[in-house]
A and B are shown apart, each in its own frame.
Chain A
């Protein structure tokens, strides 16, 4: 299996496109940081964190009092309120969004890594068919499920690598472009306010967005191996990635929305303050996603191992 994975890895990095994609990602992240710094320098940000925290606190109080918040959203608002009160009482400044710490605390590499991993996942089986190499690949003394597994592992590895490169690039550009502005991230743990390390939280965000990378890439992998067309796989995967939240919005009145994959794909919502549905929790999301993931893989493997190669 290791040798098969080595093969997939070699094929992947022998394509110029892969290097271009990885390079593009690094450039994009640096450019985004540069643009952020530039637009930030245009604003005169002399606002007092105490004032904004105070208004945030009022906001949360109002929405909690109005009773529209339920479930997870309500819990998050309550936590937020508790943190705001703690900050004002103990004089602990929050992180600034456009600061070195802010960027590391909330790295935004997920969507770029997702896009690139989807492209690779869509093509890894489909391209064997379009190049005609599938005949060479499958006439070896290796069972098809092993080949499929090596391809899937290669995708996951590629995804992890991109996330890591993305995170490192983010850290570097954070240090290059932004000064340290202090501040302390806080969270609620067991009812108490605790301090949070920006590094730990950054990695946690990375992990949550990696789940989305896995799900979308597995979907692309399935479409690519069933229909043998990478274009279609890329198209459909990005379609569900971009329109997912719209579909959730449209169907929000119905119970079924809880079980749709779109509702759960972006797990970073549990770390922001906007959750697509009031009745879901992180663990529920993970269960739903796992079910979809397994279904995608069953379809991919079954079609691939049963198919007669006639092309």
Chain B
């Protein structure tokens, strides 16, 4: 796993009226990596994020950002962080530019040139001097992103960032996040209800349930390699797979087998020499939704999905 973490949650705990909302949560986030933060409603995602950005006080534990603890040096630690908490609510009665100016003044050393640069980056040059009240939701999201990027944060934290964006907007947003994670080596932490979204965007996911971290996994390396094989006739294919020592499971028109990548050419050869008509052979990955269901139990997912 890459270099030293940029953000570290150490035994983070939040107790509200005797109830542990967040229970001893520890997590490390690394530069250049997008980490998804998943969990059913009420699991404590928003609470965790709010403790990380100083909106809520923690009851125990520590948040370390680039070597600075949040409790010891709030200003220094938070100056490394860019935040979008839910829908970015801007001052509607001011222009987009004045909003950016407002937030720029709250950071050290942001020049007018930097503001213009960010405005260009998010493609808002044409309308930046109009009042935010006249913006569409997509425009406001872009402005929200712009304010989070002004000070070139090393760490970007996003709570439900794509709420209310249309598919094109979501895609654009996702690609943009990937880009800055890669080019500027920014560590990104995204909480979302939209599993497919997280799946497409993240390198790694952390799953939280009842205030505890229940799973942390890398998306790039599937734990077990599965392949989907579709060939005709099906019963002969099944036999052949069996004779080659693959465990197969019937899915749709074909079979899912568990196999190493290196075995695949061999399999293709065997299929064609046996005279079977091969239609498809492709890596098969369980969707995040399947995994999430397994982890957290269906009941709570239903609640999640209804949001």
Q: Indicate whether A and B interact.
A: yes
* B89 contacts A by Cβ under 8 Å: yes
A308 and B91 CA atoms in complex are apart in Å by 21
Q: How many A-B residue pairs have CB under 8 A?
A: 77
Residues of B73-93 at the interface with A, using a CB-CB cut-off of 8 Å, are: 74-79, 81, 83, 85-93
The answer to whether A143 touches B56 (Cβ under 8 A) is: no
The answer to whether B83 touches A139 (Cβ under 8 A) is: yes
* A62 contacts B by Cβ under 8 Å: no
Q: Which of A4, A132, A310 contacts B106 (CB 8 A)?
A: A4
Question: Which among A9-17, A24-32, A168-176 touches the partner chain?
Answer: A9-17
Which residues does chain A contribute within 8 Å of B78, judged by CB atoms?
Answer: 139-141
The answer to whether B56 touches A309 (Cβ under 8 A) is: yes
A144 and B103 CA atoms in complex are apart in Å by 15
Which residues does chain B contribute within 8 Å of A20, judged by CB atoms?
Answer: none
* B217 contacts A by Cβ under 8 Å: no
Q: Mark B213-254, 1 if CB is under 8 A from A, else 0.
A: 000000000000000000000000000000000000000000
Give the size of the chain A interface in residues (CB under 8 angstroms). 24
The answer to whether A308 touches B106 (Cβ under 8 A) is: no
* B54 contacts A by Cβ under 8 Å: yes
Give min CB distance, A134 to chain B, whole Å. Answer: 8
Residues of B123-151 at the interface with A, using a CB-CB cut-off of 8 Å, are: 147
* Chain A residue with the shortest CB-CB distance to B151: A141
The answer to whether A308 touches B79 (Cβ under 8 A) is: no
Q: Which of A16, A139, A142 contacts B53 (CB 8 A)?
A: A139
The answer to whether A141 touches B93 (Cβ under 8 A) is: no
* B114 contacts A by Cβ under 8 Å: no
The answer to whether B107 touches A310 (Cβ under 8 A) is: no
Q: Which of B54, B77, B91 contacts A133 (CB 8 A)?
A: B91
Q: Which of B55, B91, B93 contacts A138 (CB 8 A)?
A: B55
A14 and B93 CA atoms in complex are apart in Å by 6
Which of the four size classes fits the interface of chain B? Answer: 20 to 34
Q: Mark B24-65, 1 if CB is under 8 A from A, else 0.
A: 000000000000000000000000001001111100000000
The answer to whether A16 touches B93 (Cβ under 8 A) is: yes
* B94 contacts A by Cβ under 8 Å: yes
Q: Which of A4, A7, A141 contacts B75 (CB 8 A)?
A: A141
The answer to whether B57 touches A308 (Cβ under 8 A) is: yes
The answer to whether A139 touches B90 (Cβ under 8 A) is: no
Give min CB distance, B81 to chain A, whole Å. Answer: 8
A141 and B103 CA atoms in complex are apart in Å by 10
The answer to whether B94 touches A135 (Cβ under 8 A) is: no
Residues of B89-116 at the interface with A, using a CB-CB cut-off of 8 Å, are: 89-94, 98, 101-103, 105-108
Which residues does chain A contribute within 8 Å of B103, judged by CB atoms?
Answer: 136, 140
Which residues does chain B contribute within 8 Å of A139, judged by CB atoms?
Answer: 53-55, 78, 81, 83, 85
The answer to whether B105 touches A7 (Cβ under 8 A) is: yes
* A6 contacts B by Cβ under 8 Å: yes
- Can you list 21 contacts pairing A with B, beta carbon distance less than 8 Å? A4-B105, A6-B105, A10-B94, A11-B91, A14-B98, A16-B93, A131-B89, A131-B91, A132-B87, A135-B86, A138-B55, A139-B54, A139-B78, A140-B106, A141-B76, A141-B106, A142-B106, A143-B75, A306-B57, A308-B57, A309-B55
A residues in contact (CB < 8 Å) with B: 3-4, 6-7, 10-11, 14-16, 131-133, 135-136, 138-143, 306, 308-310
Beyond A4-B105, A6-B105, A308-B57, list 7 extra A-B contacts (CB 8 Å).
A7-B106, A132-B89, A133-B90, A138-B55, A143-B75, A308-B56, A309-B55
B residues in contact (CB < 8 Å) with A: 50, 53-57, 74-79, 81, 83, 85-94, 98, 101-103, 105-108, 147
